[in-house]
């Protein structure tokens, strides 16, 4: 066995017969379970840092990415069905907004509650449950018969979606290394936008040809994917080490080391001493607002709320606006909707290509006004044609959509392992509050004041988050997770 996979167990000892397994002491004075746990966490992190990309990381990005693909698919499916449901169920604008927001409100509850379980039961276990839940709930959506039944099914679907995206983002962040983490993560997270884009393409064909139910039946496939997740991926080794389960974490990393050595040869020795020692801290949700984390928490919450208030408000309402205000046929309305969604993929590629160079706060602060300005222009010019709406809304969504994937990278980086899933989930809760509020507000503003005021409202919001991010954002690019936040 090479130096990269040397047998640490000879250097370890049991600690008090407790649940804390064997760990490599960094100093002979460490004789407590807490000290051994700290050493284990630094050891696992240091070994992950010197592993090249590939192997488990590639497999995880593929499998978890498939689940995230269907997240994006299901998030946009209601927008594809809505132009039909408006006439079928005689919905007025307030009903449309509430039906769209029902799923987002479910995501809000799921993002707030389920990551808390992920801190205690594991990222992979909770991710598996949530994938199964949103897949089965999508199937249920296809069997709904009126406004109320769809609202309930969408809420349950949202519970699964809200929990899954936060757990998945945390998992992928924790198995990545600091060098190139932004690019690695964003190319994984791009599949959310691809899922939304594919939903738009399929929706424009499936809904008119086979009925609105089939867009939800297709979205039920992740119920089968949950079994694949559970059987083929290991738990996050960073989480295992933080929970005192070093033997399991060591086994996962040793498998990664053997795979890496088979591809690239001997690995350099890890350097645990270069990492800061973890803080002995109980797992408490209030810590996100403690003095150490308060500023970064409030900044990221503002970014989540403002970015998704605009992006999901625009994206969820576009097909209905084409159909009701500009009187396009259903198929054309759906096609225009997925063109805008497809433009977001361009923004995602730009973000993934430059994020490790420009940095997280600067990218977010740049993309926010680029997403808001086209909507402000629309508000002042007035809505004149379907092609005008297509051009301005697509350019806006190109940038605000890219912010969403950057936030799923940036938020887990800001918090330590003991609270990373909760920190990401709380951020996503603000996202889901925004996505719950935005469609409803658009419906009421549209009905009471007209479409121009809708665009003025949506165009103003990003500039608020831009100012906050420029003033108070914390840079994380190129830094080891344990270095960013203890």
How confident is the model over 176-232, as pLDDT tens digits? 888 888 887 887 777 776 776 777 677 777 777 888 888 888 877 776 777 677 778
**In this model, does residue 126 exceed pLDDT 60?**
yes
Q: Where are the domains of the chain?
A: 56-235+288-484
Residue 397 · residue 340 · CB < 8 Å = yes
- Reported confidence tier of residue 243, pLDDT bands at 50, 70, 90: confident
Q: How far apart are CA 155 and CA 160, in angstroms?
A: 9
255 compared with 219, residue with greater pLDDT = 255
Closest residue by Cα to residue 111 from 407, 421, 327: 421
| Mean pLDDT for all residues in the chain | 80
Tell me, what DSSP letter sits at residue 19?
S
**In this model, does residue 2 exceed pLDDT 50?**
no
Q: How far apart are CA 30 and CA 261, in angstroms?
A: 31
Nearest 5°: phi and psi at 458?
-65, -35
- Reported confidence tier of residue 25, pLDDT bands at 50, 70, 90: very low
- Over residues 75-108, the pLDDT tens digits come to 667 777 887 888 888 887 777 777 877 777 888 8
9 compared with 470, residue with greater pLDDT = 470
Angle CA 463–467–469, to nearest 5 = 110
Mean pLDDT of all residues in 420-438? 83
Mean pLDDT of all residues in 341-358? 85
- Reported confidence tier of residue 112, pLDDT bands at 50, 70, 90: confident
- Over residues 138-177, the pLDDT tens digits come to 889 889 988 889 899 989 988 888 888 888 888 888 888 8
Q: How far apart are CA 422 and CA 300, in angstroms?
A: 13
Q: Global pTM? A: 0.75
Residue 253 · residue 44 · CB < 8 Å = yes
Q: How far apart are CA 36 and CA 16, in angstroms?
A: 11
Burial degree of 18 (CB within 10 A; 0-12, 13-18, 19+): exposed
- Over residues 279-295, the pLDDT tens digits come to 655 556 678 888 888 99
Q: How far apart are CA 477 and CA 297, in angstroms?
A: 17
Mean pLDDT of all residues in 296-315? 89
pLDDT at 276: 66
The tokens describing 424, both together, are 């990401």
Residue 93 · residue 444 · CB < 8 Å = yes
Tell me, what DSSP letter sits at residue 21?
-
**In this model, does residue 3 exceed pLDDT 50?**
no
The tokens describing 300, both together, are 């990221």
Q: HEC states along 76-117?
A: HHHHHHHHHHHHHCCCCHHHHHHHHHHHHHHHHHHHHHHHHH
- Over residues 361-411, the pLDDT tens digits come to 999 999 999 999 999 999 898 888 888 888 898 899 889 888 988 998 899
- Reported confidence tier of residue 446, pLDDT bands at 50, 70, 90: confident
Q: How far apart are CA 379 and CA 146, in angstroms?
A: 34
pLDDT at 4: 40
Q: Which of 115-124, 130-139, 327-336 has the lowest mean pLDDT?
A: 327-336
Highest mean pLDDT, choosing among 92-96, 296-300, 424-428, 442-446: 296-300
pLDDT at 372: 93
User: In angstroms, how far apart are the furthest CA atoms of the chain?
Assistant: 76
CATH code of the region 56-235+288-484: 1.20.1250.20
- DSSP letter string, 333-388: HHHHHHHHHHHHHHHHHHHHHHHHHH-HHHHHHHHHHHHHHHHHHHHHH----HHH
pLDDT at 462: 93
Reported as type and span, the H/E element at residue 458 is helix 451-472
- Reported confidence tier of residue 466, pLDDT bands at 50, 70, 90: very high
Mean pLDDT of all residues in 454-469? 93
């Amino acid at each position: 066995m090479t130096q990269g996979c040397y047998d640490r167990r000879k250097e370890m000892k049991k600690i008090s017969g407790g649940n804390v397994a064997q760990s490599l002491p960094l100093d002979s004075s460490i004789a407590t379970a807490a000290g051994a746990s700290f050493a284990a966490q630094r050891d696992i992190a240091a070994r992950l840092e010197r592993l090249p990309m590939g192997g488990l990381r590639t497999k995880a990005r593929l499998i978890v990415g498939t689940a995230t693909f269907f997240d994006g698919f299901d998030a946009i499916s209601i927008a594809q069905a809505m132009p039909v449901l408006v006439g079928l169920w005689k919905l007025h604008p307030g009903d449309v907004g509430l039906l769209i927001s029902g799923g987002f409100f479910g995501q809000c509850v799921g993002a707030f509650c389920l990551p808390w379980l992920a801190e205690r039961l594991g990222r992979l276990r909770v991710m598996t449950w949530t994938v199964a839940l949103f897949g089965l709930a999508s199937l249920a959506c296809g069997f709904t018969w009126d406004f109320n039944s769809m609202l309930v099914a969408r809420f349950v679907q949202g519970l699964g979606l809200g929990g899954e995206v936060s757990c998945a983002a945390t998992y992928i962040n924790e198995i990545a290394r600091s060098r190139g983490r932004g690019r690695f993560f964003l190319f994984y997270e791009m599949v959310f936008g691809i899922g939304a884009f594919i939903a738009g393409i399929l929706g424009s064909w499936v809904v008119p040809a086979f009925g609105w139910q089939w867009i939800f039946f297709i979205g039920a496939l992740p119920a089968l994917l949950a079994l694949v997740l559970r059987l083929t991926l290991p738990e996050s080794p960073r989480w295992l080490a933080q929970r005192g389960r070093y033997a399991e974490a060591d086994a996962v990393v040793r498998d990664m080391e053997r795979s890496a050595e088979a591809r690239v040869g001997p690995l350099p020795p890890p350097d645990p001493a270069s990492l800061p020692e973890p803080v002995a801290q109980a797992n408490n949700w209030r810590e996100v607002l403690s003095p150490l984390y308060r500023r970064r928490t409030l900044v990221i919450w503002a970014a989540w709320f403002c970015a998704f208030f605009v992006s999901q408000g625009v994206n969820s309402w576009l097909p209905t606006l084409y159909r009701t205000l500009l009187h396009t046929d259903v198929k054309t309305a759906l096609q225009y909707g997925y063109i805008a969604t497809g433009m977001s993929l361009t923004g995602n590629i730009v973000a993934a290509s430059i994020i490790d160079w420009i940095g997280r706060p600067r990218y977010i602060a740049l993309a926010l006004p680029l997403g808001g300005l086209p909507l402000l222009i629309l508000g002042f010019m007035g809505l004149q044609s379907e092609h005008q709406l297509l051009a301005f809304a697509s350019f806006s969504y190109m940038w605000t959509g890219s912010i969403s994937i950057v936030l799923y990278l940036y938020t887990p980086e800001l918090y330590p392992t003991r609270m990373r899933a909760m920190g990401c989930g709380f951020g996503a809760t603000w996202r889901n509050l925004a996505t719950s509020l935005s469609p409803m507000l658009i419906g009421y503003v549209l009905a009471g004041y007209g479409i121009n005021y809708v665009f003025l409202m949506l165009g103003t919001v990003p500039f608020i988050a831009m100012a906050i991010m420029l003033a108070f954002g914390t840079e994380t690019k190129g830094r080891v997770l344990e270095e960013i936040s203890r």
